């Protein structure tokens, strides 16, 4: 790297981290004013509140990083252009592609940092942040699912009409064992309760049907029966922002386990998994577009370029939110939903690159 690379890279990284710190501080202050009543109601100490915001800050910094990297790029490049530094570089024989090199290096460094943060660091900090939200800010969670189905083994299926997560009781419980297309055994019970001391379920007032063949059926009843199931009260607890609390390895395991148990609604977890890989590329793409947008000197100063930078960054964010919402509804493949904004803005960047005066 030469002096020009260090010069631009230093300005770019300083601007990025300064704006991140500024924005995150403002967001934390706004958030504090919104939830301060909840903190007072629970009589939280200053240390506990400070600890919460220590975990909250990285989450917000990562969330707004595409916007911030774009703003930082536009701000730095527009300043260089307004001081005729870009013109001087081009006049001295430096190509526009060469000017983009330090931005590419800087965005690459931020992309690697983002990959590590999104894949491992932020999910760990989110476990405390989300637990804190649930305990002190959100309303108590009540499981409201009806007609619940689970696949608990290769040929075993569980059904509950309803479940009370406050006392861990499932009502109108059924467990069926099916081989091929034939039902070979069925247990019905009035309700099933979790025994935390034994780490087992107990079915109460049950009736078992064993089908010997088409004409023979063995039936017996009982009051109580302990049973082991690939099921726990955790399966009925709040899934509020669960996808944000899972590392890459945990996401893979959760998706695999959910599919094995017959749970089809895993779109939000697939989106989170694919985002870990695509989010860093968004940093690079938006940085390159930011350079292209603001490299041209404007008579009105850098204000127009910065405003344009805000606009494009917000359009990108809206595009991301819309495509993910469509994917979560099941109307689009999660991988396409995550890739589509990056692909479209990459094409926009390439088209814009060939329109910049060199």
**pLDDT of the residue at 339:** 94
Q: Is the pLDDT of residue 307 over 80?
A: no
Residue range 32-55: average pLDDT?
95
pLDDT tens for 154-168 read 899 999 999 999 999
Question: What pLDDT does 302 receive?
Answer: 62
Looking at per-residue pLDDT, the higher value among 139 and 28 belongs to 28
112-137 pLDDT, tens per residue? 999 999 999 999 999 999 999 999 99
Q: Mean of the pLDDT values across residues 264-291? A: 92
Enumerate residues 6+ apart whose C-beta is below 8 A from 243: 251, 268, 269, 271, 272
Q: How confident is the model at residue 330, as a pLDDT?
A: 83
- Burial code (b: 16+ CB inside 10 Å, e: under 16) for 191-211 equals bbbbeeeeeebbbeebebeee
pLDDT in tens, 77-104: 988 988 889 888 988 888 889 999 999 9
Q: How confident is the model at residue 293 (pLDDT cuts 50, 70, 90)?
A: confident
| Average pLDDT estimate for 133-150 | 91
Q: Note the pLDDT of residue 296.
A: 76
pLDDT tens for residues 222-266?
999 999 898 999 899 888 899 999 999 999 999 998 888 877 789
pLDDT digits (tens, 9 = 90+) for 185-196: 999 999 999 999
**At a CB cut-off of 8 Å and minimum separation 6, what does 290 contact?**
69, 70, 71, 72, 73, 74, 77, 103, 309
pLDDT band at residue 301 using 50, 70 and 90 as cut-offs:
low
Q: At residue 276, does pLDDT exceed 90?
A: yes
Pairing of strands 156-164, 200-211: unpaired
Task: List the 146-153 sheet strands across, edge first.
Answer: 146-153, 156-164, 169-179, 182-195, 200-211, 217-227
pLDDT band at 298 (very low <50, low <70, confident <90, very high): low
Q: What is the average pLDDT value for the chain, to the nearest integer?
A: 91
DSSP 248-275: HHHHHHHHHHHHHTT----HHHHHHHHH
Return the pLDDT at 238.
87
Domain segments of the chain: what residues?
Answer: 3-138+266-353, 146-236
Q: Mean pLDDT lowest for which of 22-36, 197-211, 217-231, 305-319?
A: 305-319
pLDDT number for residue 241: 92
Over residues 16-26, the pLDDT tens digits come to: 999 999 999 99
pLDDT at 41 over 90: yes
pLDDT reported for residue 84? 86
Instruction: Give the Cα separation of 176 and 262 in Å (integer).
Output: 14
pLDDT at 352 over 90: no
Say whether pLDDT at 203 is over 70: yes
* pLDDT at residue number 270: 95
Q: Give the residue-averaged pLDDT of 339-354.
A: 90
- pTM of the entire predicted model: 0.88
Region 55-80 average pLDDT = 92
């Amino acid at each position: 790297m030469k002096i020009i690379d260090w010069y631009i890279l230093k300005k770019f990284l300083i601007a990025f981290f300064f704006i991140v710190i500024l924005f995150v501080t403002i967001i934390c202050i706004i958030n504090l004013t919104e939830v301060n009543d909840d903190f007072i109601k629970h009589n939280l100490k200053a240390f506990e509140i400070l600890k919460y915001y220590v975990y909250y800050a990285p989450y917000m910094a990562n969330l707004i990083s595409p916007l911030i990297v774009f703003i930082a790029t536009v701000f730095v490049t527009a300043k260089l252009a307004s001081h005729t530094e870009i013109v001087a570089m081009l006049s001295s024989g430096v190509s526009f592609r060469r000017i983009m090199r330090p931005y590419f290096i800087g965005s690459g460094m931020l992309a690697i940092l983002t990959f590590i943060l999104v894949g491992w660091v932020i999910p760990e900090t989110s476990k405390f942040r989300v637990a804190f939200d649930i305990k002190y800010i959100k309303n108590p969670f009540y499981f409201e699912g009806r007609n619940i189905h689970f696949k608990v083994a290769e040929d075993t299926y569980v059904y509950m009409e309803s479940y009370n997560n406050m006392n861990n009781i499932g009502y109108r419980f059924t467990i069926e064992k099916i081989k091929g297309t034939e039902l070979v055994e069925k247990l019905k019970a009035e309700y099933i309760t979790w025994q935390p001391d034994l780490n087992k379920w107990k079915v109460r007032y049950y009736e078992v049907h064993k089908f010997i063949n088409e004409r023979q059926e063995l039936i017996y009843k009982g009051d109580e029966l302990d049973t082991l199931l690939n099921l726990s009260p955790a399966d009925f607890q709040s899934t509020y922002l669960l996808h944000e609390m899972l590392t890459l390895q945990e996401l893979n395991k959760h998706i695999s386990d959910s599919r094995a148990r017959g749970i089809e609604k895993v779109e939000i977890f697939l989106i989170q998994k694919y985002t870990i890989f695509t989010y860093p590329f968004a940093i690079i793409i938006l940085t390159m577009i930011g350079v292209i947008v603001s490299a041209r000197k404007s008579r009105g100063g850098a204000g127009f370029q910065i405003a344009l930078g805000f606009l494009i960054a917000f359009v990108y964010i809206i595009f991301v939110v819309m495509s993910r919402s469509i994917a979560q509804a099941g109307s689009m493949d999660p991988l396409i939903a995550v890739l589509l904004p990056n692909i479209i803005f990459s094409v926009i960047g390439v088209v814009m690159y060939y329109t910049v005066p060199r």
